[in-house]
Amino acid sequence: MRKVSTRVSGTKASSKKTTPAPSPAKANAARLAKLGIRHDFDLVLHLPLRYEDETRLTPIAEAAPGIPVQVEGTVKSTEIVYRPRRQLLSRIADSSGELVLRFFNFYGSQAKALASGATVRAFGEVRTGFFGGEMAHPRFRVLREQAPLPSALTPIYPTTAGLSQAALRRSIEGALARVQLDDTLPPEMSGRLGLCGFREAVETLHHPRPGADPVSFRDSSAPAWRRMKFDELLAQQLSMRKHYRERKSRAAPVLARKGPHTAALIAGLPFRLTPAQRRSWEDIERDLAQPHPMHRLLQGDVGSGKTVVAVLAALRAVENGMQAAVMAPTEILAEQHFRKFSEWLAPLGVELAWLSGGQTRKEREAGRTAIASGKAKVALGTHALFQDRVAFRALGLAVVDEQHRFGVSQRLALRTKGADLHQLMMSATPIPRTLSMSYFADLDVSVIDELPPGRTPVVTKLFTDSRRAQVVKRIRDACMAGGQAYWVCPLIEESEQLQLQTALDTYAALSAELPELRVGLIHGRLKGAEKTRTMAEFKAGRIQVLVGTTVIEVGVDVPNASLMAIEHAERFGLAQLHQLRGRVGRGAVESVCVLLYQNPLGETARRRMSVIFENSDGFAIAREDLLLRGPGEFLGARQSGAPLLRFADLEQDADLLEAARTAAETLLSERPELAQRHLERWLGGRAHFLGA
């Protein structure tokens, strides 16, 4: 990577020990670093955020509101007024009309420059203000002599405090002069895809030609933009597919023997596997029989029946003399898996070990010993429990449940750990196709796209919280008739303490309102053993109403519970609401999920409420969620501060994504040196979240 990219001038100076005051170059480098720019190529790829059309002057009278225009006029008057707050107002006029330039933050020198009689050129959006047409905070220039209009669009770059457009432009020009802009696509490939050359694209975007169509630059449909978007997507695909290929060249135990356990399990199930479950199991079976590690993502909506597929995979490992580890994100879920697995494995004589935070040290030691000796064939627990050294005798398969809880960046970071293991990742958050093709392109994917038959769809109701009492009454009636209910406490993201307090308050209130019922409480701060006891009592029907925080979001399976109320539903995300709602509708009776919300609803919250009300299909909800939140939030990548794709938009540029995927395969097979060079350019300087 050093070969291709010269370091940005200034960063080197930082290694010198004796520099008392930061030099301008060093300060510049620090600001560039803030933008993720470390190498010359990063500057080349630092592309404009937008373009402004300063090639034309618009007569003041013709400036339409809301559209950026450039006007030129003579200053009639300039004054500083103090009401409603300190501001500078400068009235200018051309032969067609008058316009006020309004500034709230200004220097005295600017006020002076705008003296009566001066000629000023201003760029901005006109709107109708108190004094008629006005421009707030325009970019402006006082013209001392005849100044010709620029002949091309002006690029405006994303920048950071203290780094002016001019300084940034100078740095970019310097880099453009230093680097090689040779193409990383073979000409026949760019020709076939109808893409322009790399050099042409870079030069055009930094220096649009005179007469270039401003619209295509603005909406980034210009050929130069398409080339850069393609290159960005290609870098992502190359990185992901390289990992994919590397994995296929590593060794893993061959789990090909079809022993008695899997067949016996399938024969003994109280139901028939759905066709989608069967297809997924066949995918897994095929992978496990290969001498390379499987990394397969099993996607399926809540309740689609992923667990039994995981049990089959674990049994296949056991049939081949190896062990399986099953990891869940929460204690509650791990415990549930333990029960479910025990129910299915015990009749087959397969021993399990169970590691829990709530166990005594002695119990945990016993579990560990059983795992180390190989007596326990399948081990279950939370991820945390597997993090501190658990020694397996012969671990062949790791199953990671509810993998979507961890975010893509975490997954990518862990990609090389357990490199010689088969891994089955399960996710109940359906991943829209474009995301799956990009950020999950290093995995193989199976989708369970149907629910087991005989489910009654959950009826969703939207109530304002003024109807809370009615909901409580309904829960009383249902529970008196033998039913059970969940009551989900409002989410308080800002404070775990407040969240806990709300849960306690809600629990107290409902206990008082429903004296004839047993109300239970479950939240993240409870001790493991207490959680276990409460869940067991709820499962056994001794607790009728379970008050909980979002800890019940994941995986909880109590078919008799057919009612759910979610308080302050407007605070939850779509994926969360969908997961929560998926806790009911698991039995034969019709289930109801009441979303209590508080008015007034914001725009996004209103959208979320209507999406969840109108849709029950997880994929449809996920697509809406992606549109509402964007890929960064959706993938849990935003917290890590990692930028996603900068230029390409997965939905809008889906055609380019398809093309990049094919191109990546071709390059990796036929032109690996070009693939390498392409990756170095795009991933060279930054810790970029393209999947590197």
By the criterion CB under 6 A, which residues form the site for ligand ADP? 271-274, 277, 300, 302-308, 428, 452, 557, 586
**661 contacts which partner out of ligand ADP, Mg ion, none, CB within 5 to 8 A by kind?**
none
Is 682:235 a contact under the CB 8 Å cutoff? Answer: yes
**300 contacts which partner out of ligand ADP, Mg ion, none, CB within 5 to 8 A by kind?**
ligand ADP
As given in the structure block, the two tokens for residue 108 are 């005295």
Strand 119-129 to 98-103 pairing: unpaired
For residues 143 and 121, what is the distance between their CA atoms, to the nearest angstrom? 7
Is 46:172 a contact under the CB 8 Å cutoff? Answer: yes
**197 contacts which partner out of Mg ion, ligand ADP, none, CB within 5 to 8 A by kind?**
none
- Asked if residue 582 binds Mg ion (CB under 5 A), the reply is no
Q: Which is nearer to ligand ADP, 337 or 523 (CB)?
A: 337
The partner residues of 100 in beta bridges, in order of sequence, read 91, 134
What is the end-to-end Cα distance of the chain in Å, rounded? 14
- Give the shortest CB-452-to-ligand ADP separation in angstroms: 3
- Give the shortest CB-336-to-Mg ion separation in angstroms: 8
**154 contacts which partner out of ligand ADP, Mg ion, none, CB within 5 to 8 A by kind?**
none
Q: Which is nearer to ligand ADP, 197 or 300 (CB)?
A: 300
Name the residue with tokens 């397996």: 392
**Closest-CA residue to 240 (of 494, 443, 392):** 443
Number of CB atoms found within 10 A of residue 363's CB: 13
Name the residue with tokens 């501001």: 87
Residue type, 652: Q
Q: Which is nearer to Mg ion, 303 or 685 (CB)?
A: 303
**557 contacts which partner out of Mg ion, ligand ADP, none, CB within 5 to 8 A by kind?**
ligand ADP
Q: Which is nearer to ligand ADP, 449 or 624 (CB)?
A: 449
Is the preceding peptide bond at 600 cis, omega within 30 degrees of 0? yes
Could you give the C-alpha distances from 383 to 86, 301, 357, 375, in angstroms and in order?
58, 22, 11, 21
Number of CB atoms found within 10 A of residue 343's CB: 10
- Asked if residue 555 binds Mg ion (CB under 5 A), the reply is yes
The size of the interface with Mg ion (CB under 5 A), counted in residues, is 1
**Nearest residue to ligand ADP on Cβ basis:** 305
Q: What are phi and psi of 202, to 5 degrees?
A: -60, -45
Q: Site residues for Mg ion, window 649-688 (CB under 5 A)?
A: none
Give, for 268, the enclosing helix (H) or strand (E). Answer: helix 260-268
**171 contacts which partner out of Mg ion, ligand ADP, none, CB within 5 to 8 A by kind?**
none
Strand 132-136 to 98-103 pairing: parallel
Q: Which stretch binds Mg ion (CB under 5 A): 106-114, 137-145, 210-218, 551-559?
A: 551-559
Q: What is the DSSP letter of 377?
A: S
- Give the shortest CB-305-to-ligand ADP separation in angstroms: 3
The partner residues of 445 in beta bridges, in order of sequence, read 297
**305 contacts which partner out of ligand ADP, Mg ion, none, CB within 5 to 8 A by kind?**
ligand ADP
Q: Which is nearer to ligand ADP, 334 or 659 (CB)?
A: 334
Q: Which is nearer to ligand ADP, 401 or 653 (CB)?
A: 401
Q: Which residues contact 392 (CB under 8 A, 6 or more apart)?
A: 323, 325, 371, 372, 379
**581 contacts which partner out of ligand ADP, Mg ion, none, CB within 5 to 8 A by kind?**
none
- Give the shortest CB-304-to-ligand ADP separation in angstroms: 4
Q: Which is nearer to ligand ADP, 326 or 679 (CB)?
A: 326
- Give the shortest CB-430-to-ligand ADP separation in angstroms: 11
- Asked if residue 430 binds Mg ion (CB under 5 A), the reply is no
> What are the b/e assignments for 134-144, b being 16+ CB within 10 Å?
bbeebbbeeee
Is 568:596 a contact under the CB 8 Å cutoff? Answer: yes
Q: Which stretch binds Mg ion (CB under 5 A): 358-366, 513-521, 548-556, 671-679?
A: 548-556
Could you give the C-alpha distances from 346 to 261, 267, 335, 516, in angstroms and in order?
11, 15, 16, 38
- Give the shortest CB-417-to-ligand ADP separation in angstroms: 24
For residues 459 and 632, what is the distance between their CA atoms, to the nearest angstrom? 31
**Torsion (CA) 39, 41, 44, 45 in degrees, nearest 10:** -100
Give, for 468, the enclosing helix (H) or strand (E). Answer: helix 468-480
- Give the shortest CB-314-to-Mg ion separation in angstroms: 14
Q: Which is nearer to ligand ADP, 207 or 278 (CB)?
A: 278
Q: Which is nearer to ligand ADP, 321 or 452 (CB)?
A: 452
Number of CB atoms found within 10 A of residue 375's CB: 11
Residue 692: Cβ-neighbour burial (10 angstroms; 0-12, 13-18, 19+) = middle
Residue 352: helix, strand or coil by DSSP?
strand
- Give the shortest CB-686-to-ligand ADP separation in angstroms: 37
Q: Which is nearer to ligand ADP, 306 or 623 (CB)?
A: 306
Residue 301: Cβ-neighbour burial (10 angstroms; 0-12, 13-18, 19+) = buried
- Give the shortest CB-386-to-ligand ADP separation in angstroms: 19
- Give the shortest CB-226-to-ligand ADP separation in angstroms: 40
Q: Which is nearer to Mg ion, 240 or 554 (CB)?
A: 554
- Give the shortest CB-550-to-ligand ADP separation in angstroms: 16
Q: Which is nearer to Mg ion, 378 or 664 (CB)?
A: 378
HSE-up of 518 (CA within 13 Å, CB side)? 11
**302 contacts which partner out of Mg ion, ligand ADP, none, CB within 5 to 8 A by kind?**
ligand ADP
Q: Which is nearer to ligand ADP, 305 or 520 (CB)?
A: 305
For residues 215 and 238, what is the distance between their CA atoms, to the nearest angstrom? 31
- Give the shortest CB-597-to-ligand ADP separation in angstroms: 26
- Give the shortest CB-328-to-Mg ion separation in angstroms: 8
Q: Which is nearer to ligand ADP, 305 or 432 (CB)?
A: 305
- Give the shortest CB-551-to-ligand ADP separation in angstroms: 16
**277 contacts which partner out of ligand ADP, Mg ion, none, CB within 5 to 8 A by kind?**
ligand ADP
**576 contacts which partner out of ligand ADP, Mg ion, none, CB within 5 to 8 A by kind?**
none
Q: Which stretch binds Mg ion (CB under 5 A): 267-275, 550-558, 579-587, 594-602?
A: 550-558
Ranges assigned E (strand) in 273-393 = 295-300, 323-328, 352-354, 378-382
**430 contacts which partner out of Mg ion, ligand ADP, none, CB within 5 to 8 A by kind?**
none
List contacts with Mg ion (CB under 5 A): 555
